[in-house]
Structure 1
Amino acid sequence: MEDVYEGAIGIDLGTTYSCVGVWQNDRVEIIANDQGNRTTPSYVAFSAEERLIGDAAKNQAAMNPKNTIFDAKRLIGRRFDDPDVKKDMVHWPFEVIEKDGAPFIKVQYLNEDKTFSPQEISSMVLMKMKEISEAKLGKEVKKAVVTVPAYFNDSQRLATKDAGSIAGLEVLRIINEPTAAAIAYGLDSKSAQEKHVLIFDLGGGTFDVSLLNITGGVFAVKATAGDTHLGGEDFDNNLLEHFKKEFQKKTGHDITEDARAIRRLRSACERAKRTLSSVTQTTVEVDSLYQGEDFSANITRARFEEINATLFKSTIDPVERVLKDAKMPRDKVDDIVLVGGSTRIPKVQSLVSEYFGGRQLNKSINPDEAVAYGAAVQAAVLTGQTSDKTADLLLLDVAPLSLGVAMQGDIFGVVVPRNTPIPTNKSRVFTTVEDNQTTVTFPVYEGERTQCRDNRLLGEFELNGIPPMPRGQAELVTTFEVDANGLLKVTAQDRASGRKAQISITNSVGRLSSAEIEQMIKDAEQFKQADKDFSARHEAKSDLEAYIHQVENTITSPELSMKLKRGAKAQVEAELARALEKLEIEDSTSDELRKAQLGIKRALQKATAGLR
């Protein structure tokens, strides 16, 4: 693929499924994968022979649960000791280990133990989306806009950007999922009249609510809230726990430790959840679930709603918070737009509708594709592929969490309040707390609590060389700069001496250094080459096996075996034996296998030359 695509693609990197779109012929095209599906499972699997990504990985999950990785988005940018990570590890069949305070995934690949960071697993999914678009465009793709939950923090955003770099993509912009979905909603129905739109985005693993003001092509986020750890997978987990207990009650067997049985039951639970969105009762059936025991149980929609009642109800809290933050009465919201596969659940719909007084909800956009659609539009705008439709498009987003520094007594000194429009540049003056203090440490936090220990530490830096003076007299100007990706840079300057110190928040746990990213890019290329080699070897092997079979039949057929000279036939048989030997050798290359096939072909041509 010599040509490089001038534009950029839009990728919705989801917890459970991912989707890619591109702006072509004045509209967005969502690109189907090689299986014809417009969404691709965010799954990566490793085996003794190969690496699989997407549908192929998910389809073999029950056979290979320990080496099939999903939910990387629930690990990316988090610490190993994060309570959510600990909670998830109970449900995951794969092994998560700690490395320098960050979670890493341990698998067996090509008969060796390998560890991968969540960024690397996500980069493999991004690389798959890149390949899907390259197959469609016939050109190499180098640029992308990637979406993240609006409530993702600084570490999660930067880790997602790093995943893009490892996949060989220049990430032009990280945009928030509900904002991207708002573009899908508003692009074709632009009007000069101001509209207040609430985006309710409940996906496979994350949940966001954003309130936007849309006027013409300007999409301004007024407030955002959410839960980076709530989605369809949690409903599946609750269903799984319910049926696990039921199976134990019926048979006395606890299947908790059997990764394969859990995987098969989880798949059945996911299917049941989807079915219950359109019918009121279904059956969960798994043949020979554990030690030869079949499992079959009915579940009604009402029971499913009961099992998940607490989680369903919790989706209304962020809606309330967003309206409160934006000082917007419920009846002033013009449209409530549903996004994300989990909004297909009738109970979720009825709770939202009831909250807004029985209002009709807007289901005009495809819940699975809307986010990738919006990302593709933004990708077109950023690469200058504009048209009348996108000419006046402007996205104005906000910082989802308050940002600030720790003051004396562990008090959180907010510099950028939450829901501040970004990009932004805000300053606050701090001072020394001791006489003649010449060094001040600035720990940078994000969160909404008064005490720093209840918020998240992003990193810290020191300002040295402050002239000695009585405490409280030094003026230390601290400036927080948040860019359009929601990424943060902090600077502190002493007014008297002009001394400056700064930090781009890149030194917190789990952050990759540029050297590590470089190494991971090299590794990714090697894995890609290994995948290609495996496919080529597999194809050459299949071709050779079929050819051997065909030639054996030919030389033993009654009409030919009588005519062949003994020496010539022996020559063909020797080549066949040589080829069979090559097939037996595990690491025969595709070239060696093709050469063996050519050897048989030449011997056969020689043996049959001149025969009628």
Structure 2
Amino acid sequence: MNHSIHCVGIDLGHKNAIVAVNTNGIIKVCADSSSTKIFPTLISYGEERRFFGDQAQLNQPDNISFTIANLRKLIGLQYNSPDRERIEPDFRFSLCKLENELTGIWCRNFPKPNAFSPEQCIASFLKHLINIAKKEENDPEVNKLYLSVDPDCSNIQRIGLLNAAKIAGIDCELVTSTVAAGAAYIHSHTDKIEQDPYQSKTIYVVDIGDSSLKVSILKLFQNSIEVIAHQQKNEISGRKITELLTEYLLNKISQKYFINLRNDLRNKSSSMHQFLKSVENAKKILSANTSVQFEYQYGDKYISFPINREDFEDIIEEYAEYCASFVNELIETSDDFPTFIELIGGTSRIPLFRKKIEEIGIKVVSNINVDECVAIGCAMKPSLQIADILYRPIEIESENIIVFDALEFIPTITKSFNKIVNFSCKVKVESNGSDYKVYVDSNGVFRVNYDINYVKVTIPNDFSENQIKEFRKIEKSLKKRDKNVIESDHLKIMLESKIYEAEGIFRDMINELMKNKKFMNEEQLSKEKELKKKELLKIFEFHKLDQIANENRK
């Protein structure tokens, strides 16, 4: 009997992704075949196939120049821009200029070099995650995807994510990550929400994630969420904490072992990748324990020394105080006092951050799973009415005229224009007097309704239907290539197993014949040999698998 998942919710972070499925109102977080629920947001382009998530992470040390991370940062990024120059040193893979002047990913380890847009790469990763969801539910159809975005996600980035979903071939809506966390609270604690439909519980969601600090004021009702405010600071993040700890450890290694690892860091070497993994591991352990033994093998030199939590907290105290100050500032300027502060995000596990926020004087809790709540909330979206707001105003550039103000609910009302306008959301509309209408839809995307015969709309990274079809065709070809190599490798493993089995039988046969030879006459010995030969031939028929494997690889 055919069945379907009502929807899939994906928390697509810069570092990790989590998938939740909603089947007839029952929501659960998906795990892969190795019971992993947190999937690294990585794609590794090998010479023969692609690897995703955990497999990409395992493949990364040997294929560091072609393992792609932080894809969302590249969406809509102008190649000739200070932003690209600023972030490129952090990447171990090559960037390139695409035909539309935006930034792409350059992969040289194909039969011929290829340039991919970030949207193409994200599309392939989304398909990988959706396949995990489908396997979790015995391979049903997936009707819809709800994808998390940061509150300050730009118009161009939102368009890019929706285009990635189009390439992946799935209908998609965007959900603000902190709002999704509020939805997860309703899902887990329905009994704590006011039963009166006109009564609400006001909470602050503070998300200290890998890439930024996000704070949202939410009013929670039984079946709806109203957003009061969003604030975001990209200067405070788990990544920044890692950078501070890395600098501390580099200095300590230089003083203790007289080794300068900074050249390796600049050269993006494979050994530096292992060093950064050790730094991340130390950070995680210090969040739960008072000390950790930092260990790292550098060539023939074994580096080992203890790190105390006190030293770690000295390094990050300024940022923990800045985080608390940012949250407190929003509380002081808001008319809505929170019942409590819900603390989520991986960095929220560092005790000092919780301690500093608690000093504000408002109850701080973690009532929901700090890792899974956003994916769960995304999957819950169809059953809730969400009144989200614009994060930043949309203006007419050069005239400083506000079209849609920050804090306006989305979707907004429509407004009419009939002239050439450069909007601050990087959309240009050219009209010779013909009317067109603009609005912001429920995904937070600026839209234009117009007659293509009289009005021209330019969006830097929007794709035409023909481009979407072409990208789907490329993805289909790459998927087939992946599948052929996977099947070929599987057949080779089977073949090697059967050859090993045959060799064992052959050895046993010879030993048995030699043992019994003196008790057999010539006729008996000949019959026995013929029988064993037939058994062996049956096993060696598996050599045909080798031909199939080679054909698939071609």
Q: TM-score range by the shorter chain?
A: 0.7 to 0.9
**Residue identity in the other structure for 2:442:** A
Aligned to 1:459: 427
CA distance in 1, matches of 2:64, 2:414: 48
Superposed counterparts of 1:82-231, under 5 Å: 83-99=82-98, 100-110=100-110, 112-138=112-138, 139-171=140-172, 173-187=173-187, 188=190, 189-191=192-194, 192=196, 193-227=199-233, 230-231=236-237
Correspondence for 1:255 among 259, 264, 275: 264
Q: Which moved more, 1:19-28 or 1:264-273?
A: 19-28
Measured in 2, the distance between the counterparts of 1:307 and 1:513 equals: 49
| Equivalent of residue 487 in structure 1, options 425, 445, 453 | 445
Alignment-derived partner of residue 423 in structure 2: 444
Q: Percent identity?
A: 22
Aligned residue number for residue 375 of structure 2: 372
Give the match for residue 551 of structure 2: 589
SS of 2:136's equivalent in the other structure is: helix
Amino acid at match of 1:360: K
Q: Which ranges of structure 1 fall in alignment gaps of 5 or more residues?
A: 382-389, 431-439, 447-457, 467-476, 494-498, 593-612
For 2:494, the equivalent position in structure 1 comes to 543
Amino acid at match of 2:296: V
1:513, distance to aligned residue in structure 2 (A): 3.2
Instruction: Report Cα offsets for 1:263-289 as digits up to 9, x if no partner.
Output: 1011111111111111122122112x2
Following superposition, the deviation at residue 154 of structure 1 comes to 0.7
After TM superposition, list the pairs within 5 Å mapping 1:445-594 onto structure 2: 445-446=424-425, 458-465=426-433, 479-490=437-448, 501=455, 503=457, 507-508=459-460, 510-556=461-507, 557-558=509-510, 559=512, 563=526, 579=543, 588-589=550-551
Residues 341 and 364 of structure 2 are in contact (CA less than 8 Å); yes or no, is this contact kept in structure 1?
Answer: yes
| Cα distance in structure 2, aligned partners of 1:478 and 1:413 | 17
User: 1:555 touches 1:569 (CA, 8 Å); kept in 2?
Assistant: no
Could you tell me how far apart the structure 2 residues matched to 1:560 and 1:37 are?
A: 51
2:519 corresponds in structure 1 to none
Maintained 8 Å contact 1:21/1:30: yes
Distance of 2:218 and 2:379 partners within structure 1: 19
Aligned-pair CA distance for 1:487: 0.9
Give the drift of 1:81: 4.5
What is the aligned counterpart of 2:344 among 316, 327, 339?
Answer: 339
Report how far residue 74 of structure 1 moved.
2.1
Q: Aligned partners of 1:106, 1:546: CA distance in 2, in Å?
A: 38
Q: How many residues align?
A: 528
Q: Structure 2 CA distance, aligned partners of 1:66 and 1:591?
A: 24
Taking a change above 3 Å as real, the CA distance of residues 8 and 78 of structure 1, as seen in their structure-2 partners, is same
The letter of the residue matching 2:158 is R
Distance in 1 of aligned mates of 2:308 and 2:322: 22
Q: Structure 2: how far apart are the matches of 1:163 and 1:8?
A: 17
Q: Quick check: 205-214 or 554-563, which moved more? A: 554-563
Residues of 2 paired with 1:200 and 1:402: CA distance? 23
1:4–1:141 contact (8 Å) kept in structure 2:
no
Counterparts of 1:591-610 in structure 2, within 5 Å, are none
Give the distance between the partners of 1:168 and 1:109, measured in 2 at CA. 27
CA distance in 2, matches of 1:194, 1:419: 19
Name which of structure 1's ranges 211-220 and 315-324 shifts more when overlaid on structure 2: 315-324
Q: How much is the aligned-residue C-alpha RMSD, in angstroms?
A: 3.3
- Counterpart of 1:307 in structure 2 is 315
Question: What is the rounded CA distance, in whole Å, between the counterparts of 1:461 and 1:547 in structure 2?
Answer: 66
- Residue identity opposite 2:193 in structure 1: K
Q: Alpha-carbon deviation of 1:36? A: 0.4
Letter in 1 for 2:366: K
Question: Secondary structure at 2:72's aligned position in 1?
Answer: helix
Offset at residue 82 of structure 1 (A): 5.1
Letter in 2 for 1:212: L
Counterpart pick for 1:351 among 356, 380, 384: 356
For the Cα contact (< 8 Å) 1:226–1:318, is it kept in 2?
A: no
Quick check: 143-152 or 364-373, which moved more? 143-152
Which residue in 2 is equivalent to 1:35? Answer: 34
Amino acid at match of 2:301: E
Partner of 1:53: 52
Correspondence 1:238-317 to 2 at 5 A: 238-249=244-255, 250-253=257-260, 254-256=263-265, 257-287=267-297, 289=298, 291-316=299-324
What is the CA–CA distance in structure 2 between the aligned matches of 1:244 and 1:68, rounded to whole Å? 25
Deviates more, 1:18-27 or 1:552-561: 552-561
Is the CA contact (8 Å cut-off) linking 1:149 and 1:207 kept in structure 2? Answer: no
Q: Is the contact between residue 425 and residue 479 of structure 1 (CA under 8 Å) also seen in structure 2?
A: no
Displacement of 1:228 in angstroms is 5.3
Structure 2 spans left out of the alignment, 5+ residues = 515-524
Give, as a single letter, the amino acid of the residue that structure 1 aligns with 2:291. Answer: Q
Q: Work out the CA distance in 1 between the residues paired with 2:390 and 2:164.
A: 22
Q: What is the TM-score normalised by the length of structure 1?
A: 0.78
* Alignment CA distance shift 1:197-1:578 (3 Å): closer
Q: Residues 5 and 141 of structure 2 are in contact (CA less than 8 Å); yes or no, is this contact kept in structure 1?
A: no
Structure 2 CA distance, aligned partners of 1:85 and 1:586? 46
